[in-house]
Structure formats: structure tokens, C-alpha cells
Chain A
């Protein structure tokens, strides 16, 4: 009987292969966020003139958004792949083997993590070439990539939960706007203290996504800000635990075997 680790390896290998063989997944993950970054940093460059804006260039401020979008693409990918497996009956096939639920869940993340890694490295490279100044230096850039990967895996749990629950790739993709919304209603576009609409600022303050973004962003525009970092990591860990629990429950129902 294969060990859990071997099973994870087998499933992960499949997941990575699938992802790398679909340029239609990889290209939008890279192009979309960078396009929006270009548009927003030009369109909102005037925002740096707002008194109290924490960066000299909106590009520095906004590059973090790319990593978040990369995480969302990863989440949707993880969810869609699992939903496709449910829909096509491939999950039934896996159920007939000794494969454990945990192995499917963890292994499936590998593809999403690969996508997020490709995205993160590209965004950082393009950003640095375009003049982004990462205040925390090379070490901070490495931490940024790791942080981005960690966020992607956490959100992939949400995708997987949706995928297992609905068994429908269309339903998973339909959830994408809602995930988008979660990040919009945060301090993604402006720092919390510069949001002038009271209720919006309140929502952004309560929104865990704000802390994820602020943690990441601090590495670029501030340097090493311990508070921002631990808050962001704490939120990430929370999302990871909850999403994996939900995904596990949903998969348990799907993979009900006697």
C-alpha cells in the first residue's frame, strides 16, 4: 500500500502536469494582473498626491495586487480542476483506489501553487524592471514570493471546497467575481486611513483580506514591518485552516465510499 506521501506525490505530479499543459491558464494569470497594474498605476498615479499617501509611486503601492490576483487565479484553477474530476467521473476512479482524501486535497494544490509561483516570479521581475523599489531588499523579495505562494494555497482551499461541493466548473468560475469582491472591499486600492467613505473604511477594517494585502505591501513600500507581517500571516493561516476544513468536508461527501 502506498504511503500518504507517495499518494500526494502522485496526485501532485498529475496536477502540475495538467497546469503546465494549459497555456490558456498560464497566460491570463500573467497578463491580466500586469495589464491592470499598468492601467491602474497610470490611471491612479494622481492618487500619490493625496496627503498621507504612503508611497511615491502608485506602481510600488499597487504591485501587491498582482500577487493577490495570482492567488485568485490559483484558487479558481484548483476548484475548476477538482470540479472537472467530479463531473467527468475521474474522482470515482480515484475513489476505487486506496487514495486518501488528504492526499487528493494536498496533491491537487500543487498545480495551483505552480501557477501562483510562475505568476509571482513574473510580477516581481516585471515590477522591478519597471522601477518598483522593494524597500525590504532581496530578502524581502524572497519573503514576498513565499507569502504569495502561501496566500495562493490558502485560497486554493476555498476553490477546492467549491469544486468538491458543486461538482461544476461553471459554478466555480461563477464564484470568481465574489472573490474579486472580497478584495475590492479592502484596502487594496487606497490605504485604510485614506478611505474617506466611513462605512467602506469600516468594511475594509473588518475584512481579513486587507491584512493579507497590507502585510505583503509592507515588504515593498515600508521595509520590515513586523506588525503588518504577522497580521497578514495570521489571516492567511486562518483562511488556510478554514478552507482546508471546508474542502475536506465537501470531499468527504463526494468520496463517500463504504
Chain B
């Protein structure tokens, strides 16, 4: 039984990786987009660090890097959702459902593919940050913890995207996949810490589960861990929600086969 699950997941993973890494038109935007955000925010807005009350020990580059790192994980998941939607639109997804003895392996395959693709993007963004002279004050363990937070975001976004793909089975669901993720990302403390945000956005950000992940990530990179428990609680909670969404999507798709 387990062999079937692994082989299905492996088949989906292999196909997605081949497809992604042999199609520059797919790979490049997912790598370039976060890089551009990083350059724009860390470079263009660096003066924001001089705002009274802004006190981040490792500097604005590191401050922005964390957001962009998590954002790249989120969008990596969404792009994999696009790939899943394309698979279903072309009819390949249906073939997968028919041929796979353990269909949950399909979801696992997409999740693994998203992680693999994100590793590529994350490497590029990290190298760029290093070149930009980013200060890293966190320990190796803390940096690994930052990566683990990003992985939770990536898995959530992938399962969100795949759940949508299974339900709608068309690339036209792309905007519907992308927009909520975008909204959640931008209702987190993007430019300044939470306590420096004004207006209704402050309230929204306070309730946004991603805020804890971002703030905790920033804590890890600066060597001053913050809201770690809340961050992992939020992270695993999001993954659980994503899993339910994807599994219920699978059930819907199965009914149509």
C-alpha cells in the first residue's frame, strides 16, 4: 500500500520537475519575481529604516529578506497549483486519477514538487541577499528554523492551489488561486514592524496568521527569537487547513471521474 502511495507521489514529482526545469518560461518568473520584490523593497525603501521607532538590529535588508523569502515560498506553491490546473485542463489529471491506486499520492507529489522548485528560488534569493551584504545575526539552528517556517508556507500554498485545481480543473482558476495568497501576504507587516503600521491594516495584520510567521522569521534572522510558539502553531494550523482543502478537492474530483 505504501509503495503505491510513494510511486504515485514520485511519478507526479518527476513529471512536474521535468516540466518546470525544461521550461524556462515557467521557471524564470517564479525565481525572478521574488528577487525583484527583494531588490525593490530592500533597495528602494531602505530609508524606511530611518523612521522613528524602527529598530531592527540586523538592518533593513535582512528585515525585507524574511518577507520576500516567505513570499517566494507562498508563490512557489501557487505556481505549482497552476501546473496542477494545467494538468487537469489538458486531461492529464484525469489520467492520473484513473491510473493511481493511491490518489492521495497525487497531492503529496505536487507538494514535493513545489518544495523542490522553491529550493531553487530560495537559493537564488539567498545568494542575492548575501551579495547585497545582508547581515545575518541568527545561528545556524535559527536559520534552519526560518527555512522550516517557509516550508510550512510553501506546503500550505501548494495545497491551497492544488485544492483549487482539483475543484475547477482549469487554468482560469489561476487568479482565484493567486489573489487570496497575495492579499494575505500584503496584510502582513511588509514594510515596517507591526507596531509601526497605522489604520485598519494594523488590525488586519494583527489577526493574520502569516504575521506571526513573518515576525518570528525576522526574529530568527536577527538572533532574537520572537513569537516562535505562535508562529509554529499558525504554520501547522495553516498546513492542516490546506490539507483538508486539498483532500476535499480530491474527493470532488474523484466523483467526476
Residues of A bordering B, CB below 8 Å: 24, 28, 32, 35-36, 38-47, 49-50, 170-171, 174, 177-178, 180-181, 184-186, 188-190, 194-197, 199-200, 204
Contacts and interface: CB of A to CB of B under 8 A. Distances in A.
Contacts of B40: 181, 184-185, 189
Interface string B45-75: 1111011111000000000000000000000
Contact of A188 (B44, B53, B202): B44
A47 B199 CA distance: 14
Contact of B48 (A38, A42, A44, A171): A44
Contact of B32 (A24, A177, A185): A177
B200 A42 contact: yes
A184 B197 contact: no
Contacts of B186: 35-36, 39
List the 7 closest pairs (A to B, CB-CB), nearest first. A184-B40, A200-B43, A42-B201, A42-B199, A181-B36, A177-B33, A46-B51
Nearest to B48: A47
B196 A46 contact: yes
Nearest to B174: A173
B190 A174 contact: no
A115 B36 CA distance: 26
B199 to A, nearest CB: 4
27 contacts: A39-B186, A39-B187, A39-B190, A42-B197, A42-B198, A42-B201, A42-B202, A43-B190, A43-B191, A46-B51, A46-B52, A47-B48, A50-B47, A50-B48, A50-B51, A174-B26, A174-B29, A177-B29, A178-B29, A180-B36, A184-B36, A184-B39, A190-B44, A194-B47, A199-B43, A200-B44, A204-B44
Contacts of B200: 38, 42
Interface in B101-119: none
Contacts of A178: 29, 32
Given A43-B192, A46-B196, A189 B53 contact: no
A189 B45 contact: yes
B183 interface: yes
B175 A196 contact: no
Given A46-B48, A49-B52, A195-B46, 15 more contacts: A36-B186, A39-B187, A43-B201, A47-B47, A47-B51, A47-B191, A49-B51, A170-B25, A178-B32, A184-B39, A185-B39, A190-B44, A197-B42, A197-B43, A200-B44
Task: Tell me which of A180, A184, A199 has the highest count of chain B C-beta atoms within 10 A of its own C-beta.
Answer: A184
Given A28-B179, A177-B33, A185-B40, A45 B199 contact: yes
A134 B237 CA distance: 45
A189 B44 contact: yes
Nearest to A24: B175
B196 to A, nearest CB: 5
Among B47, B51, B191, residue most surrounded by chain A Cβ atoms (within 10 Å): B47
Contacts, number: 108
A46 B198 contact: yes
Interface of B: 25-26, 29, 32-33, 36-37, 39-40, 42-48, 50-54, 172, 175, 179, 183, 186-187, 189-192, 196-202
A250 B66 CA distance: 41
Nearest to B202: A42
B171 to A, nearest CB: 8
A193 B73 CA distance: 33
Given A200-B39, A200-B43, A43 B32 contact: no
B36 A185 contact: yes
A45 B199 CA distance: 9
A45 B54 CA distance: 13
Contacts of B36: 177, 180-181, 184-185
Contacts of A195: 43-44, 46-47
A44 B202 CA distance: 11
A50 B47 CA distance: 8
Nearest to B61: A197
A50 B25 contact: no
Given A43-B189, A178-B32, A35 B183 contact: yes
Nearest to A173: B174
Contacts of B172: 24
* Best-surrounded residue of B29, B40, B186, B196 (most CB of chain A within 10 A): B40
Contacts of A177: 29, 32-33, 36
Contacts of B51: 46-47, 49-50
A50 B50 contact: yes
A185 B44 contact: yes
Nearest to B186: A39
A44 B191 contact: yes
